[in-house]
Amino acid sequence: MSVEELIKKFSEYSNQDTTMLELAYNFAKEAHGEQKRASGESYFTHVYSVAEILADFKMDQPTICAGLLHDTVEDTKITIDILKNEFGEEVANLVEGVTKIETLRFSSRDEAQAENWRKMILATAKDIRVIMVKLADRLHNMRTLNYLSREKQLEIAYETLTLYAPLSQRLGIFNLKSELEDLSFKYLYPEEYEMLSAKIQLRYFKREKILEDFKNELNSVLESSKIPYRLLYRAKNIYSIYRKMQKQNKPFEEIEDTLGVRIITDTVVNCYVLLGIVHSHFKPTANSFTDYIAMPKKNLYQSLHTTVMSRSGEPIEIQIRTEDMHKTAEYGIAAHWRYKMGQNATDKHLDEKLNWLRQWIEWLQELESPREFLESFKTDLDLEQIFVFTPKGDVKPLPVGATPVDFAYYIHSEIGDNCVGAKVNSKMVKLDHELKSGDVCEIVTRKNSGPKKDWLNFVKTASARSKIRKYLREHKIED
């Protein structure tokens, strides 16, 4: 857990200066001082582990600094301004983003709301690297969850499964998604988890011989081609098998779980050459071939997929890709960020990838209330912002201290003008009630009721204020 180890790991993939890493390391160590985690370890071990995970994802230097510093504002006397002075805007902004997400507490058990929360987290983060720090933070918390109370475990595991695993999937970081899912599953359904992982191990043990034989045969075939390659096995995702059982309503024994092998090679042309060699030695099963190299998936995933029959009559799924494609599949967005680092900017598809990222974010915003989300990206989101849900689950950004009247005018001036009451989280509240992030607000209206003069004393938004004044003016009600 020394700064040398972290710098060594970082320097294996980056030439960026490491002075800042050292500063952040010492700063975080001092700031957290004697603070302890539930495990009894020093708090600093947590932020160090988060930085290490970010280095596993080959993130840039400011992101790793932010990993080291991510809990200083939340848990110590350090302020964002101090971080700005010590480490500059970029690192301070990343930490601020993570701190903001920390304040959004998710508790809903409603799937539709979960989608809005995921969007809200993205909108709040603004910079994808903030999400990366948050995901690394969550991964380490999940890996050390056994020290917390059962109640806390359930709460955090549920939030991870509903919010953070889908986010990592969207970012294309599949191994992160799998680990978050399996860890959540372990705490949410401990019995099912134990049973299923035992069964999977047993099945794998039985089929190891088949896979071993296939691998040997494949190696002898591929070696004669003189093309560089390496073979990898696919990791098992216990939760995805559980989901399949639920969806298809079948026991484990009836769930198809094809054995799989990956072939990683150097060039695109060699992917196709190796495919030809595989097909000429093993019979492909009907309609199993998909060319994701010529037609990449939306998240930029590229690979050739085919399923062939082994000599023992077992179908084996084969994925063939280049090292580059493999990195994109393993690290997702994180891999794209790596290309941003000046020294290694050799990726000619960089623009295309960043463009995809932008489109992806835009697509997210288009799903619902596009304008609000675009605005929240454009206007500098500050700590003064809260997010309030409509009963239908749309998220509306409002300033801190906003009231149901602000909310009503935000939705529509007519709803504001006719507002006579409000329910927050199904309870009636006064119209000057202060809304909080995550509240569900429902406005009660009555036709032609009209705004009241005293509303001007408590509304927080300029638009509500001006609409109330306009109504009062037009209806000759004295100010």
Residues known to be catalytic:
74-75
Per the CB < 8 A criterion, the answer to whether 387 and 125 are in contact is: no
Size of site (CB under 5 A) for Mn ion: 2
Per the CB < 8 A criterion, the answer to whether 261 and 233 are in contact is: yes
**Cα angle for residues 67, 52, 159 (degrees, 5° grid):** 65
Q: What are phi and psi of 328, to 5 degrees?
A: -60, -40
Q: At what angle do helices 3-11 and 43-56 cross, to 10 degrees?
A: 10
Report how far residue 309's alpha carbon sits from residue 306's, in angstroms, rounded to the nearest whole number. 10
Applying the rule CB under 5 A, the residues between 255 and 314 that interact with Mn ion are: none
Sign (positive/negative) of CA torsion 427, 432, 435, 441? positive
Question: What x-and-dash track marks residues 424-453 binding Mn ion by CB under 5 A?
Answer: ------------------------------
| Residue closer to Mn ion, measured from CB, 51 or 402 | 51
CB of 184 to Mn ion, least distance (A): 17
Q: At what angle do helices 19-32 and 61-69 cross, to 10 degrees?
A: 10
Question: What x-and-dash track marks residues 15-54 binding Mn ion by CB under 5 A?
Answer: ----------------------------------------
Q: How many other β-carbons are positioned within 10 Å of the β-carbon of residue 384? A: 11
CB of 333 to Mn ion, least distance (A): 20
Give yes or no for residue 60 binding Mn ion (CB under 5 A): no
Give the binding range for Mn ion (CB under 5 A) out of 68-76, 81-89, 204-212, 327-335. 68-76
Question: What x-and-dash track marks residues 98-137 binding Mn ion by CB under 5 A?
Answer: ---------------------------------------x
Applying the rule CB under 5 A, the residues between 135 and 194 that interact with Mn ion are: 137
Per the CB < 8 A criterion, the answer to whether 215 and 261 are in contact is: yes
| Residue closer to Mn ion, measured from CB, 76 or 445 | 76
Give the binding range for Mn ion (CB under 5 A) out of 65-73, 176-184, 245-253, 275-283. 65-73
Give yes or no for residue 71 binding Mn ion (CB under 5 A): yes
Looking at the DSSP bridge assignments, the partners of residue 324 are: none
| Residue closer to Mn ion, measured from CB, 71 or 159 | 71
H helices present in 104-189, as ranges: 111-125, 128-143, 150-159, 165-170, 174-188
CB of 357 to Mn ion, least distance (A): 25
Residues in touch with Mn ion (CB under 5 A): 71, 137
